């Protein structure tokens, strides 16, 4: 079975299928909401996910970004590309270098369709 790092949520289906799944908690979100502060930002989340992969010594992983997680996995990939065999975006934007989530959402709404 595969080894996944999923950002964020939704690991149950993968685990039930027999996959090994890591779901690093993001400060300020979900069960780590109590860690919200002005210093917590996308860079914090990218660093946390990359460090999880490095500290757990994970290799040959599928790095999966769901919703806002697309921004996080895109950034994390720059630090851990040699550990990743596949990058997956699920119900997400496809950010390029320099894109912000606000800009991507705004562009989607201006075209008259809902953002993912």
Whole-number pLDDT of residue 70: 87
Query: What are the boundaries of each domain within the chain?
Result: 3-110
Residue from 37, 59, 67, 108 carrying the catalytic annotation: 67
pLDDT tens digits, 4-62 = 887 766 788 889 999 999 988 887 676 666 767 778 888 999 999 999 999 999 999 99
CA–CA distance, 103 with 35 (Å, rounded to integer):
26
Is 100 an annotated catalytic residue?
A: no
Pairing of strands 61-66, 20-22: unpaired
Report the alpha-carbon angle 85-5-104, nearest 5.
Answer: 90
pLDDT tens digits, 48-105 = 999 999 999 999 999 999 888 888 999 999 999 999 999 998 887 777 777 777 777 7
Alpha-carbon Rg for the chain, nearest whole angstrom, is 14
**What CATH fold (topology level) applies to the domain 3-110?**
Rossmann fold (3.40.50)
């Amino acid at each position: 079975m595969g080894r996944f790092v999923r950002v964020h949520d939704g690991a149950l289906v993968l685990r039930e299928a027999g996959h090994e799944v890591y779901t690093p908690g993001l400060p300020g979100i979900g069960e780590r909401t109590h860690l919200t502060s002005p210093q917590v930002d996308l860079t914090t989340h990218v660093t946390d996910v990359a460090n999880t992969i490095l500290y757990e010594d994970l290799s040959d992983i599928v790095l999966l970004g769901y919703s806002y997680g697309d921004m996080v996995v895109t950034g994390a990939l720059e630090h851990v590309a040699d550990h990743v065999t596949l990058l997956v975006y699920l119900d997400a934007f496809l950010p390029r270098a320099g894109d912000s989530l606000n800009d991507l959402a705004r562009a989607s709404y201006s075209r008259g369709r809902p953002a993912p």
